[in-house]
Amino acid sequence: MKIFHNTRHAEHAGRQEMFRGRLVDCHEVPDRLRYVLDELQRRPMGQLLAPDAALDVDAAMARIHASDYLDFLAHAWDDWVAVDLANAERDALPSVWPLASKHGFRTDAPPLNFAARLGQYAFDSGTPLMAGSWAAARGGAACALAAAQAVLGGERFAMALTRPPGHHAGPNYMGGYCFINNAAVAAQALRDAGVQRVALLDVDYHHGNGTQTCFYERSDVFTASIHGDPRTEYPFFLGHADERGYGAGEGFNLNLPMPRGTGFDVWLATLQTALQAVADFAPQALVVPLGLDTFEGDPISGFKLRSGDYLQLGRAIAQLGLPTVLTFEGGYAMAEVGVNTVNVLQGLNG
């Protein structure tokens, strides 16, 4: 297995986020990845590599994300500091958002005010942006592209071990700690290389709204997600079972929401339903947005999986027999996230 590590991930280190009505210390922090790397030192699961600097990561991101959104991210920090030099000492968080056009707000006339532009491209106030956010997010996309190329080159499994995560980022928006959708970048790279059918299986506690949006009108990429019920769980406004795709994509999106408190037996049975749907699609490759926030001790989630259960998750994915790219997503129980991640990899390796 090849594991591509984002050496610039720690440049994105948020100070505070808005969480349940108050500013709190960020849950998504560099130590998340450090614990995984520490566990990989104890239990090596393959080659730990940096992506090739020659990869055309900008072109890969542009296949998923709108050009104006990418341009905004690339210059956001400089624009934020230009508003007030004192901003260099604090993260940028949005405070105003345009609602859908039916409410009378327009998005076809981009504002010049930075705070308004930040809100235009964000859907929550819990995703702080700082000086190193763009470099870290771009480095994550490079890891995803490198992992896709690895499986194209014959590897059965490859992982993009990176943060910030990605599956909440849509074509033209950020949120849920995510800026660039690494799983979508990997899936599109596989398609562009000639893989006719790609499946995405999202096992994060929170629905991958960004990934669903990227492929919702397409029949060449099947998306399946098992996650907390959006009636009570973030991101709330997508992830319902009746969202099946649109137009050419109708029938190629599967959401399997479950209530807070779901234990492993029910979760595993639901995973088997998702795996069967993936198998029925008959893909030639698989991308797994790997969230570990289904763990019973996760501070912002609500399922009841234990560390040993992630071995079974890895084994279940491996049974599909598909070339597979994994992208590191959620998981905020700091002391256990390394063990849980490497357990999945151990299960994959048999």
Residues acting as catalytic residues: 168
- Phi, psi torsion values for 277, nearest 5 degrees: -65, -40
Is residue 134 within 8 A of residue 11, CB to CB? The reply is: no
The side-by-side arrangement of strands in the sheet containing 2-5 is: 47-49, 2-5, 157-161, 324-328, 285-290, 198-202, 221-228, 253-258
Please state, in angstroms and as integers, the Cα–Cα distance from residue 126 to each residue in 46, 92, 236, 294, following that order.
Answer: 34, 10, 14, 20
- Phi, psi torsion values for 228, nearest 5 degrees: -65, 145
User: What is the rounded CA–CA span in Å between residue 290 and residue 262?
Assistant: 18
Q: Which two three-digit tokens encode residue 159?
A: 């992982």
Strands 324-328 and 16-19, bridge-based pairing: unpaired
For residue 188, which of 71, 72, 73, 59 has the smallest C-alpha distance?
Answer: 59
Residue 65, burial from CB neighbour count under 10 angstroms (0-12, 13-18, 19+): buried
For residue 4, which of 158, 202, 189 has the smallest C-alpha distance?
Answer: 158
Please state, in angstroms and as integers, the Cα–Cα distance from residue 165 to each residue in 79, 112, 175, 223, 273, following that order.
Answer: 23, 28, 10, 18, 25
User: What is the rounded CA–CA span in Å between residue 292 and residue 298?
Assistant: 9
- Bond prior to 235 in cis (omega within 30° of 0): yes
- Bond prior to 299 in cis (omega within 30° of 0): no
Length of the chain: 350
> What 3-state class would DSSP assign to 47?
strand
Cβ-based neighbour number of residue 88 at 10 Å: 11
